[in-house]
């Protein structure tokens, strides 16, 4: 331990004390930028946690905001694997800046590990109401198009979310997975009377992409069919070219 650590000059306590400057939206931007640089020079996990707080605010002008956030990205990357735990904790606890947290994790870990972190987050959020659904949507968009057996079971509960944007994101993620347990929930969502039209269109797209039959639901599906989708003679949803 160095003398400055002993005196509290550059240790974890100092990092935590800089949070108010990092999240200072008004006043001289040099104060905030100096604090960011100081944190980048500390090699404590607490410094990463404070640097991540910069992503929870937006400052004017937006060019400065973007430049600072990119700078923070590079500062956090310089911590290497030591930054993974604080980033994961930030992702778990904060509703904001999910895309930045995922981008940072992608720069440090193999894709399978980032998928695991995203899946854990989706599982923890599956029964949680959020006034702003952005975090769920970002996580669902992240796993969309990726092939991993953990994804579909984590996505499936989000078909029951209160927010239509979450339902649509979940449907788009489920389509390529061809996850048989999702067939009935997708069909129920499609044919429920209060389902929004745009959610119905996304459900039809998921059924078509999954190659699932609508057997047992044909009459109900026909009643809500939307172009460019149609049902063929084998109870399969098809899309017109």
Q: Are residues 114 and 87 located together in one domain of the fold?
A: no
Q: What is the CATH number of the domain that holds 204?
A: 1.25.10.10
Task: Compute CA distances 12 → 16, 138, 220, whole Å.
Answer: 6, 31, 60
Q: Is the separation of the CB atoms in 225 and 205 below 8 Å?
A: no
Same domain, 172 and 58: no
Tens-level pLDDT at each residue, the chain (241 residues): 443 444 345 578 889 999 999 999 999 999 999 999 999 999 889 999 999 999 999 999 999 999 999 999 999 999 999 999 999 999 999 999 999 999 999 999 999 999 999 999 999 999 888 889 999 999 999 999 999 999 999 999 999 999 999 999 999 999 999 999 999 999 999 999 999 999 999 999 999 999 999 999 999 999 999 899 999 999 999 999 8
Q: Are the C-beta atoms of residues 115 and 143 closer than 8 Å to each other? A: yes
Residues 62 and 4 placed together within one structural domain of the fold:
yes
Taking a C-beta distance cutoff of 8 angstroms, is the pair 190, 221 a contact? yes
- Rounded CA separation 60/80 (Å): 30
Distance between CA atoms of residues 41 and 194, nearest Å: 54
Q: Each residue of 28-43: b (16+ CB within 10 Å) or e?
A: ebeebbebbebbbebe
Same domain, 123 and 98: no
Q: What is the pLDDT of residue 9?
A: 52
Residue 91 sits in which domain range? 1-109
* Domain end position, chosen among 94, 109, 124: 109
């Amino acid at each position: 331990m160095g003398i400055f650590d002993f005196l509290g000059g550059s240790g974890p306590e100092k990092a935590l004390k800089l949070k108010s400057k990092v999240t200072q939206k008004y006043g001289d931007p040099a104060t905030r930028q100096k604090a960011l640089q100081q944190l980048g020079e500390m090699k404590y996990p607490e410094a990463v946690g404070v640097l991540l707080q910069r992503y929870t605010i937006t400052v004017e002008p937006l060019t400065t905001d973007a430049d600072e956030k990119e700078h923070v990205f590079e500062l956090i990357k310089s911590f290497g694997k030591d930054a993974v735990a604080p980033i994961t904790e930030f992702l778990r606890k904060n509703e904001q800046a999910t895309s930045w947290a995922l981008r940072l994790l992608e720069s440090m870990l193999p894709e399978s590990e980032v998928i695991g972190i995203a899946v854990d987050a989706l599982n923890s959020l599956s029964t949680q109401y959020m006034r702003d659904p952005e975090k769920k949507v970002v996580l669902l968009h992240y796993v969309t198009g990726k092939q991993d057996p953990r994804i579909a079971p984590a996505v499936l509960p989000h078909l029951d979310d209160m927010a239509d944007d979450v339902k649509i994101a979940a449907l788009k993620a489920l389509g390529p997975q061809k996850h048989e347990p999702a067939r009935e929930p997708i069909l129920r969502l499609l044919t429920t009377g209060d389902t929004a039209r745009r959610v119905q269109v996304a459900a039809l797209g998921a059924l078509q992409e999954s190659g699932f039959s609508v057997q047992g639901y044909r009459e109900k599906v026909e009643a809500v069919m939307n172009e460019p989708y149609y049902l063929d003679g084998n109870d399969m949803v098809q899309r017109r070219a």
